[in-house]
A and B are shown apart, each in its own frame.
Chain A
Amino acid sequence: MIFLTFAVRNLRRHKVRSILATLGIVIGVFAIASLGVMGNSINLLATALISDVGDTIVITPHTAIGGAGFAGDPRTVVEATIPDADVERIEKAAAGHRVIPVLQGAGEITVGNEGGYAQVIGLATEDIPYLLDLEEGNNLRTGSRGALIGTYLAREYDLRAGSRIRLGDEQTIISGVIAERGFAFDINPDYAIVIVEERFRDLFPEAEGYDYVVIRVTDPAEIDGVKEEVDGLLNRRDDVVDITDSREALRQVNEIYAAMTRFLLAIGGVSLVIATVSILNVMIISVTERTREIGVMRSIGALRREILLMFLYEALILGIAGSLIGGVFSFVGGYFISIAAVQVLTAGTTFAEGVTVFDPLSVAYILFAMVFGTVTSVASGLYPAWQASRMKPIEAIRG
C-alpha cells in the first residue's frame, strides 16, 4: 500500500492541480448524470401524459406527407375529410368493434365579456362514453344543445357544470367537465369543447364527412386484423385513408424521447471527455516531473507494475473524488433541473406528480455517470502510467 500513500501524498503536494483535475471530473459526471436525469424525467412525464393503451386505431384521410401522427398533428388538419360512404365501409370492415367518427373545428366562444376561439369536437352521443370520462356534471343526451368542456379550458374561464357560454350564435349550457386526458392518440379534449354531432353540423354547415375515425378494438390482439380489413376495403385502388394504431404512436414517442435522452447524454459525454484530457495532462506532467524519482524507485527495487500502479492510483483517486462530488451535485442539480423542465412542459396540469429524481432509472443514470467518470479517469491515467513504468531506470535517474 506504500504506492497508494505515494499517490495520496503526490496529489496533496500539488493541491491546486489535483483540485482542478477533480473539478473537471465533477463537471463531467454532473453533466452526464443531471442531463440523464432530466431526460428520464421528461420521459416519465411523457409516459404519464400519454393515456393510451394499445387498443386504438385512428383512420385519417390520406395525406402525401404520410399519415403517422396524432390527432391534432398539423398535417392532419387539412381540408381533406372522410366521406360518409367511407365511414360506412370502415364500419363494415371493423364489424364488432366500436367505430367512432370524429368531427373537428374551431369555434368562437364567449364567456361573459371574454371571447376567443376554441377547438370544437363533434361526436355521436352514444360514442361519447367510449372516449371521455367526466370530472363533474352529466353527459350529453341525444339532440342536446349543451356542451362538455375540457378541464383546462374550464379552469381558464372558471367554468363548471351549469355555467353558460356562447358558442357560435347560441347560448350553451355546460353540461359537464371532461376529466383531464393529457396527450392522447385519439382525441385531445383538455382544451376543447365537445358537442353532439347534430349541433356540430349546425355550427359548421359547410362541413362534410368526418375529420377522422377512431376504432376501439375489443381486444388489442385483433388490432392488426382490423387494420388489414380496413386497408383491404378502402385502399384497394388508391390510398384513401392512412391507418395508424396507438402502439405505433407510442413507439414513436418512446423513440423520440430516447433520442433526446441520448442527445443529452452525449453533451454530458463531451464534457467528460474534456475532463479526461485534463486528467491525462495532469498525469503526464506528474510523470515528467517525477522522472528522477521513478528512476530512483526502480533502481532500489520497485517493479514496473508497481510504478504503473502508483500512477493509476493517482488517476483512480482523482476519478473517485470527482465522481463522488459530481454524484452528490447530480442528485441536487438533477432534481432542480427536472423540476424546472417538468414545470415548463406541464404548466397548469397535474401530470408531473409522478416524476421524481428518486426514480430508479434516474439513480441508475447518476451511478452510471459516477462509474463512467471513475473509469474514464483511470483510463486516461493508463498511458502516462504505462510510460512511467517503461522508463529505463538508468535514463530516468539522470532526469
Chain B
Amino acid sequence: MNEEGPIIRFTGVTKVYPLPAGDVVALDHVSLDVMPGEFLAIMGPSGSGKSTLLNLMGCLDTPTSGTLFIKGKDVGTLSDDELTRLRRDHIGFIFQQFNLIPLLNVIENVEFPRILKEREGGCTERCLEVLAAVGLEEELFSHTPAELSGGQQQRVAIARALINDPEILLADEPTGNLDTKTGTGIMELLDEMNRRGRTVIMVTHDQNVAAYARRRITIVDGRIA
C-alpha cells in the first residue's frame, strides 16, 4: 500500500468478546477505509460497537478475524512491543475522561510520550509549541491535573496526543465530560488539527459534535449502517 492508499483499512473485521454468559459480537464483518487527512465521526447508540472500532484503530485491541491495516501494517501480525510503538509514534489518543497521569504536572504529562519515544524530556520547544497550539495559559504549566478544570485537562490531553506529531488522532467522546462552550473550543481545536493535515477519527453520539466531521458513519449492532 503506498502513501496515497488508506491510512486505516478494515477488511471483514469481526471482534468477539468471550463472556461467561456467551460470546458478544462487538463488530461483525466490518470493512472500512479511512484516507489520510480525513475527519471521520463514528456515531451510534451505546453498545453498538463504536468504541470497539476506535480501540482497534488505536491498536489497543486486535481483531478476532479479518484484517486491519494501519499505515500499511497488518496489526494482527505485530507483537505487543510493535503495537505499542505504533501507538506511541503514529497515533494520538484523546479520551472522554482526559486520562492525564495524576503524578505528573502539565509539562510532564505532555512530555511523557516524547520521553517514551526519545528517552529524553524536559520543557522542550516542542512541548511549548503544542501547549501554545492548544491554548493553555503558561501559569498552569506546573499544575497537576487535579488542579485543572475539565476543559484545561482536555487541552493538556490534546497537547499530549500531539507531542510525537502523529498522523492519526483518535478521540473517544472528547467533549463528553465538558460543558457546551468548553466542548466547542475543543472541537475547534480538533478541526484545526485536521486542517493541518492530521487524520482525525472521533467517536460521539452528539449530532452537534459530529457536525464538525467531514464524514460520518453510524454503527448499529456491530455493523456500519
A residues engaging B (CB < 8 A)?
2, 6, 9-10, 13, 292-293, 296-304, 306, 392-394, 397
Number of A-B residue pairs at CB separation under 8 A: 60
CB-CB under 8 A from B102, the residues of chain A are: 293
**Structural contact, B103 and A6, CB atoms closer than 8 A:** yes
Question: Given A6-B103, A296-B99, do A302 and B60 touch, yes or no (CB 8 Å)?
Answer: no
**Structural contact, A301 and B61, CB atoms closer than 8 A:** no
Interface string of B56-68 (1 = CB under 8 A from A): 0010110000000
Please tell me if B116 contacts chain A, counting CB pairs below 8 Å.
Answer: yes
DSSP majority for the B interface? helix
**Structural contact, A301 and B89, CB atoms closer than 8 A:** yes
**Structural contact, A394 and B61, CB atoms closer than 8 A:** yes
**Structural contact, A299 and B81, CB atoms closer than 8 A:** no
Question: How close is A313's CB to chain B, nearest CB, in angstroms?
Answer: 13
Docked CA distance A296–B84 (Å)? 12
**Structural contact, B116 and A302, CB atoms closer than 8 A:** yes
Q: Which of B58, B84, B100, B112 contacts A2 (CB 8 A)?
A: B112
Question: Given A2-B112, A306-B116, do A300 and B60 touch, yes or no (CB 8 Å)?
Answer: no
CB-CB under 8 A from B89, the residues of chain A are: 301
CB-CB under 8 A from A297, the residues of chain B are: 101, 112
Question: Given A2-B112, A397-B99, do A300 and B121 touch, yes or no (CB 8 Å)?
Answer: no
Which residue of A is nearest B86, CB measured? A301
Which residue of B is nearest A389, CB measured? B80
Question: How close is B158's CB to chain A, nearest CB, in angstroms?
Answer: 12
B84, B95, B161: residue with the most chain A Cβ atoms closer than 10 Å: B84
**Structural contact, A301 and B60, CB atoms closer than 8 A:** no
**Structural contact, B103 and A13, CB atoms closer than 8 A:** yes
Which residue of A is nearest B164, CB measured? A301
CB-CB under 8 A from B161, the residues of chain A are: 300
Q: Which of A2, A296, A393 contacts B121 (CB 8 A)?
A: A2
CB-CB under 8 A from B99, the residues of chain A are: 292, 296, 299, 397
Question: How close is B113's CB to chain A, nearest CB, in angstroms?
Answer: 5
Q: Which of B55, B61, B88, B103 contacts A300 (CB 8 A)?
A: B88
Docked CA distance A265–B81 (Å)? 44
CB-CB under 8 A from B93, the residues of chain A are: 299-300
24 A-B pairs, CB-CB below 8 angstroms? A2-B108, A2-B112, A2-B115, A2-B116, A13-B103, A292-B99, A296-B95, A297-B101, A299-B58, A299-B60, A299-B93, A300-B87, A300-B93, A300-B160, A300-B161, A301-B85, A301-B87, A301-B113, A303-B84, A303-B85, A392-B61, A393-B60, A394-B61, A397-B60
CB-CB under 8 A from B101, the residues of chain A are: 293, 296-297
Docked CA distance A292–B98 (Å)? 12
Docked CA distance A2–B109 (Å)? 11
Which residue of B is nearest A299, CB measured? B93
**Structural contact, A300 and B81, CB atoms closer than 8 A:** no
Docked CA distance A301–B60 (Å)? 10
Please tell me if B143 contacts chain A, counting CB pairs below 8 Å.
Answer: no
Docked CA distance A306–B61 (Å)? 19
**Structural contact, B113 and A300, CB atoms closer than 8 A:** yes
